[in-house]
Structure 1
Amino acid sequence: MFCILMNNKIQLQSDSKLPEDGLPVTITAKYIEKRYEVMKWNAVIAETGSEVMGLLKTSNQVDFRPNDRPTDLADYSVSYEGRPAEDLKKGDRIEIGSSSFRIVGIGANVNEKLQTRGTCTMNFSEEREPATPDSIMLSGIGYPETCIKNGARITVK
């Protein structure tokens, strides 16, 4: 069995029976998105700067940058591997390690900066209004001090 995309519809092609879950032969891309959440961002924290935990305690925010982007501020930022595949938006769910947050506000420059430079600021203050044009405002269950660590997975759905 395999799928082909034609005119925004996915055609299942098969010489055998349909899958057991009873999917129709032709299904829309929207159905696939609803049934199987598409990852907008799938990354892994490569390195947590030595001053990051102090910043989180005092400001509830931390800067993220791709690990291939050198900086003099590495001690004050989190580097990651894996850039976003799609724009982030208010309402998206972000998981960092075992903690889950909801994006409740997003700065005007966030998506452009993520696509061009890979940088953003994640703010865990639970405020809705973006603190800066580069801020992703987060609210949720979990403590950033415990989930932001080397090897932790970052996913946005």
Structure 2
Amino acid sequence: MILKNQGLSSQQASLGLSLFWGGIAVNRLLFGIFSKRFNLSSLFLSSPLAVAALLTALWIYPDPGILVVMMFLTGFFMGTLFPGSIGWGTVEFPSISVLVSGFLMAANQAGTGIITNTLGHFSDRTALILRFLTGCTVVIFILLMILRKNSKIEEAF
């Protein structure tokens, strides 16, 4: 609905959504391959800012020609957040790693459900929702910066 409200046809919006999920998959594949060789914690920590910038671009520059590319990039940078947070959480709290992993999975599912329903019910307020989501990603970035101090984040990546 966001993409159609931004001027894309149904076919273009479907392509954008597919590229979003493809971006997540590509990121997770590359992250899995390269995380053993390289310290990817900085990519993980900076991903919320990249997502915020891309979400901002979605509501400031609603050009149908670049929206599809922005959807891939948004998915790509979001692909780091979920597995990265579980990995980091289980390294920080190994004795309760199952609880940490389960809590983060539940938070992910609840957030996805809430945002999906919000977008469905308020599809006429896309720019406002995108601004809210941008703010959420900035808050996530700030929280990650606070949490990384005195943490074992290097071990998680």
Same fold at TM > 0.5: no
TM-score, reference length from structure 2: 0.25
Give the structure with the larger strand fraction: 1
TM-score when normalising by structure 1: 0.25
Name the structure where helix makes up a greater proportion of residues.
Answer: 2
Kindly name which structure, 1 or 2, has the bigger radius of gyration based on alpha carbons: 1
